[in-house]
Amino acid sequence: MDLIELTRRLIRFETINPPGNEEACARFLGHMLADGGFRVTYHALSPGRVNLMARSPAVGGGEKPTVLSGHLDTVPLGSTAWQYDPTGAHRVDGRIYGRGASDMKSGVAAMVLAALAEGADAPVTLILSAGEETGCEGVRALAAQGVLEGPVRALVIGEPTANYPLIGHKGAFWLELEARGRTAHGSQPELGENAIGKAAEAVRRLMAIDFENHAHPLLGRPTLNVGTIQGGININSVPDRAVAGLDVRTVPGLGHGALRALLEECCGDLVRFRIMADMEGFASDPRNPWIQQVFDLAAPYLDESPVPRGAAYFTDAAPLAAAYDYPPAVILGPGEPSQAHQTDEFVIIRRIEDAISIYRAILRL
Ligand SMILES: [Zn+2]
């Protein structure tokens, strides 16, 4: 199938997550890949939802495969009305409109056709995941099922970067902190133990952490934000419980176990922590020869020579890189980064055509 038509066909599968319903889209692509001689397996996530893995005929010859990966789910439409039908895949002025046009059905289409074109000679494993937009559930399930067997040569994630190769992103470590106290009448606070006071002191100490000893050469320092706080039932009682939500964006080199110990030490016995989300980031070495080759072959398609940079958002790259023991990895896809999750999302057709050329060249490295 033609690249542009495949992109449009994929947009017409409604895979808004929640609930996702990625299975029909995955089976459609699985048939195409099986017809092309790929060994296709489906890995259930939940009813109506599967991850797809497809190995090219050249896998198994002793050479390590390159992994191309993208997600099949999209985010919801938002409350603003769309000018273009979100599943209509309308083609207007060199663009295709629809939910997932940039993030990232165009990337999936280019990856599938690049793999089919090169797969007879190049060892390539395609991983098309469900549930990425709600915390990389699909890839995390694959890792838990033990089907991500290494070693692999390298990883390419087709998220929207306008074909710019990004080589890392921060991790996310979300925690709830809880302070406990002892209630008393509001007129006699000295008889109680104020949980809000403890939480406030913990929050003050946490927000003063500057992570200056943990700066990463590519991704900079970790950041810490307190996003929520609740405590107390009524104004004339001493509150015996307060909770706050902490969002730490982390960098490789400060593992989440060590980070938790640092946060606990900072707060002493004021609060207790509970983990809400725990996803480590990744960063490829910019001096790695494969990374350098990808920079060189992407450069003609960009207005500039790529320099080592990371993404601001979290992707399947991190759990995949961890499962495969950190091979060199890039995030590179034809979608426009500014279009991800937007009303009237579109992708520029020329970028999809460039992406398939770049992916094919990567598979020939
Ligand atoms: Zn995405």
What is the domain-level CATH number for residue 187? 3.30.70.360
What's the pLDDT at 258? 97
CA distances from 103 to 99, 109, 136, 335 (A): 8, 12, 14, 6
Q: 238 CA to middle of ligand 1, Å?
A: 46
Nearest of 286, 365, 364, 352 to residue 113 by alpha carbon: 352
Q: 320 CA to middle of ligand 1, Å?
A: 14
Q: Are residues 44 and 136 in the same domain?
A: yes
Q: 26 CA to middle of ligand 1, Å?
A: 16
What's the pLDDT at 1? 86
Q: 191 CA to middle of ligand 1, Å?
A: 53
Q: Point out the residues of the chain with pLDDT beneath 50.
A: none
What's the pLDDT at 171? 94
Cis omega (within 30 of 0) for bond into 19: yes
Q: 139 CA to middle of ligand 1, Å?
A: 13
Residue that finishes a domain, picked among 251, 279, 307: 279
**Does the pTM of the predicted model rise above 0.85?**
yes
Residue that finishes a domain, picked among 231, 248, 279: 279
Overall number of domains in the chain:
2
Q: 193 CA to middle of ligand 1, Å?
A: 46
Q: Are residues 165 and 176 in the same domain?
A: no
What's the pLDDT at 162? 98
State how far the Cα of 241 lies from the Cα of 268, in Å rounded to an integer.
Answer: 17
Longest dimension (CA), the chain: 80
Q: 45 CA to middle of ligand 1, Å?
A: 18
What is the domain-level CATH number for residue 300? 3.40.630.10
The three-class DSSP label of residue 247 is strand
Q: Determine how many CB atoms are found less than 10 A away from the CB of residue 205.
A: 15
Q: 160 CA to middle of ligand 1, Å?
A: 7
Q: Are residues 241 and 183 in the same domain?
A: yes
Q: 133 CA to middle of ligand 1, Å?
A: 7
State both tokens at 106: 């165009």
What's the pLDDT at 156? 98
Q: Are residues 262 and 312 in the same domain?
A: no
Q: Are residues 28 and 118 in the same domain?
A: yes
Q: Are residues 289 and 162 in the same domain?
A: yes
* Cross-strand bridge partners of residue 22: none
Q: 314 CA to middle of ligand 1, Å?
A: 9
What's the pLDDT at 60? 78
Q: 17 CA to middle of ligand 1, Å?
A: 12
Q: Are residues 231 and 116 in the same domain?
A: no
State how far the Cα of 113 lies from the Cα of 273, in Å rounded to an integer.
Answer: 46
Q: Are residues 123 and 9 in the same domain?
A: yes
Contact 327, 89 (CB under 8 A): no
Q: 214 CA to middle of ligand 1, Å?
A: 28
Look-up: residue for tokens 């706050």? Answer: 244
114-169 pLDDT per residue, tens: 999 999 999 999 999 999 998 899 999 999 999 998 899 999 999 999 999 999 99
State both tokens at 345: 């999302």
Q: 190 CA to middle of ligand 1, Å?
A: 53
State both tokens at 131: 């549930």
What's the pLDDT at 155? 98
Nearest of 125, 128, 142, 126 to residue 63 by alpha carbon: 125
Q: 208 CA to middle of ligand 1, Å?
A: 33
Q: 39 CA to middle of ligand 1, Å?
A: 25
Q: 104 CA to middle of ligand 1, Å?
A: 6
Q: Are residues 41 and 138 in the same domain?
A: yes
* Cross-strand bridge partners of residue 275: 175
Query: Residues with Cβ < 8 Å from 348, sequence gap 6 or more?
Result: 94, 95, 334, 336
Residue that finishes a domain, picked among 234, 258, 279: 279
Q: 102 CA to middle of ligand 1, Å?
A: 8
- 234: containing domain: 171-279
Q: 207 CA to middle of ligand 1, Å?
A: 30
What's the pLDDT at 151? 94
State how far the Cα of 354 lies from the Cα of 362, in Å rounded to an integer.
Answer: 12
Q: Are residues 164 and 250 in the same domain?
A: no
The DSSP code for 338 is G
Query: Residues with Cβ < 8 Å from 63, sequence gap 6 or more?
Result: 123, 153
Q: Are residues 235 and 289 in the same domain?
A: no
Q: Are residues 179 and 263 in the same domain?
A: yes
